Amino acid sequence: MRVRADLIVENANELVTVACGPRTGGFMRELGIIENGSVASFGDRIVAVGPSAEVRAKVDLTPDAQVIDATGKVVLPGFVDPHTHLVFAGSREHEFIQRAEGRSYMDILASGGGILSTVRATRATPASELVDLALRRLDIMLCHGTTTVEVKSGYGLSPDEELKCLRVIRELSERHPMDIAATFLGAHAVPPEYRGDPDGYVLCIIEEMIPRVASERLAEFCDVFCEDGVFSIEQSRRILEAGKAAGLAPRLHADEIAPMGGAELAAEVGAVSADHLLCASPGGMRRMAETEVVATLLPATSFTLMLGRYADARAFIDAGCPVALATDFNPGTSPTLSMQFVMNLAALGMRLHPAEVICACTINAAHALRRGDEVGSLEVGKIADIVIADVDTHLKLPYQLGTNFVDKVVKRGQLVVSGGRRIW
């Protein structure tokens, strides 16, 4: 049967499909690569994928169809970045210097800096300015190949300010081509108003914030920074259960700096994803694998915090967990918008195979956002989010350091980036 197409990307040296998922174990190394491959779309959906001659024989191009020649290039699914703190004002380069001089991240937070300094700057900034700042960040992400992103609140930390940040996220979705998944992270830190009374703040989250977020449908997920000195396992459980009861799917910052049993909690509450995980226990990894919690690892954060080590990606893969990668973009611990930089660190710091890295940034990352049926692979019926990379083999994607390999990006069937620049 022939199909109509209004866009075709053809003759790719390698068409990396990454079909099916979430991928675990040895399956993470299989990318479903088609040599001399093409992908065609109609409207926002993929209608044909395969060897170039077969796709050409199958599609009827509309008279105004866009034909993109990918000779010599790698074509792959748009990257999915499943963990970012994109909405904030201000900047924290001074902390970067303090850490280089030996102060720890948690120490800076305990003395009112860190997250709390970004909270002060964000509260003092009107929503319209937060939107402008975030739109520019989304442009940079798209030019680096990211086509779906998760965005958390978490720099408001009061009912009105958290809602302000979530409404900013909603406006971003309406104004930018990027697909955005919104997460409520009221439990990012204890705000100054509740200093010394963290349980009072937990109650405010449960009784005031979650009901408002849910009734305005401002978020899909609820997240907690479950960490020694921030929110305990017990407090995190209460918040995540309350979120779940209100229709917000749980995800969490788990076992980043101290071993807390965060991985076990993620399994217990049925989290979609547990993130960071540098200190996860072997038992916690097993429980996550059994309950299909995605392990979302954030190597740019370990790098920026100069921890000298990364989450044990290999142990998660061996335990049978689907592993995803994300930027964790934020002003304190990960000032990068680039999934390509994350790919480099995952390959070099975590010793992942290039195929595992690509799988973790596409289909597994889509599953970390419950969007595995919509994005993350080049398959008929999925959203046409396509990256055309100026390299001849996928092996060069995590290998090439410090430059942007993205030539073109197709977002929902529209060419939005060309020559590495936005054109919409």
CB-nearer residue toward Fe ion: 328 or 390: 328
Structural Rg of the chain based on CA atoms: 21
Instruction: Find the binding residues for Fe ion in span 35-64 (CB under 5 A).
Output: none
Q: Does 328 bind Fe ion (CB under 5 A)?
A: yes
Min CB(252)–Fe ion separation in Å: 10
3-state class (DSSP) for residue 419? coil
CB-nearer residue toward ligand NIG: 82 or 332: 332
Min CB(230)–ligand NIG separation in Å: 8
Min CB(301)–ligand NIG separation in Å: 5
Candidate ranges 164-172, 231-239, 329-337, 383-391; the one touching ligand NIG (CB under 6 A): 329-337
Q: Please report the sign of the dihedral spanned by the C-alpha atoms of residue 419, residue 151, residue 86, residue 131.
A: positive
* Neighbouring C-beta atoms of residue 383, cutoff 10 Å: 24
Min CB(285)–ligand NIG separation in Å: 20
Q: Rounded CA gap, 57 and 302, in Å?
A: 48
Euclidean distance between the first and the last CA atom of the chain, given in angstroms as a whole number? 33
Tokens of 366: 């889509």
Residue selected from 77, 261, 332, 372 as contacting ligand NIG according to rule CB under 6 A: 332
Binding track, positions 77-96, relative to ligand NIG; x by CB under 6 A: --------x-----------
- Residue at shortest CB range from ligand NIG: 332
CB-nearer residue toward Fe ion: 255 or 328: 328
Q: Rounded CA gap, 299 and 333, in Å?
A: 10
3-state class (DSSP) for residue 217? coil
Q: Rounded CA gap, 202 and 30, in Å?
A: 44
CB-nearer residue toward Fe ion: 279 or 383: 279
Q: Which does 301 bind (CB under 5 to 8 A by kind): ligand NIG, Fe ion, none?
A: ligand NIG
Q: Does 251 bind ligand NIG (CB under 6 A)?
A: no
From its phi and psi, is residue 402 left (phi > 0), alpha (psi between -120 and 50) or beta?
A: left
Min CB(334)–ligand NIG separation in Å: 6
Min CB(91)–ligand NIG separation in Å: 11
Candidate ranges 112-120, 123-131, 232-240, 323-331; the one touching Fe ion (CB under 5 A): 323-331
Total chain residues near ligand NIG (CB under 6 A): 12
**Are the CB atoms for 191 and 153 separated by under 8 Å?**
no
Q: Which does 156 bind (CB under 5 to 8 A by kind): ligand NIG, Fe ion, none?
A: none
**Are the CB atoms for 49 and 37 separated by under 8 Å?**
yes
Q: Does 114 bind ligand NIG (CB under 6 A)?
A: yes
Candidate ranges 6-14, 55-63, 326-334, 365-373; the one touching ligand NIG (CB under 6 A): 326-334
Q: Which does 137 bind (CB under 5 to 8 A by kind): ligand NIG, Fe ion, none?
A: none
CB-nearer residue toward ligand NIG: 158 or 301: 301
Q: Does 223 bind Fe ion (CB under 5 A)?
A: no
Phi, psi values for residue 317, rounded to 5°: -65, -45
* Neighbouring C-beta atoms of residue 26, cutoff 10 Å: 9
Q: Rounded CA gap, 101 and 163, in Å?
A: 36
Residue selected from 77, 82, 250, 331 as contacting ligand NIG according to rule CB under 6 A: 331
DSSP 313-366: HHHHHHHTPPEEE---BBTTTB----HHHHHHHHHHHS---HHHHHHHHTHHHH
Min CB(256)–ligand NIG separation in Å: 6
**Are the CB atoms for 46 and 411 separated by under 8 Å?**
no
Three-state secondary structure of 10-24? EEEEEEECCCCCCCC
Candidate ranges 159-167, 174-182, 325-333, 365-373; the one touching ligand NIG (CB under 6 A): 325-333
How many Cα atoms occupy the beta-carbon half-sphere of 154 within 13 Å? 29
Burial class (CB in 10 A: 0-12, 13-18, 19+), 389: buried
Binding track, positions 170-209, relative to ligand NIG; x by CB under 6 A: ----------------------------------------
Q: Which residues pair with 46 in a beta bridge?
A: 41
3-state class (DSSP) for residue 6? strand
Min CB(116)–Fe ion separation in Å: 15
Note the residues at the interface with Fe ion (CB under 5 A): 328
Note the residues at the interface with ligand NIG (CB under 6 A): 85, 114-115, 118, 225, 253, 301, 328, 330-333
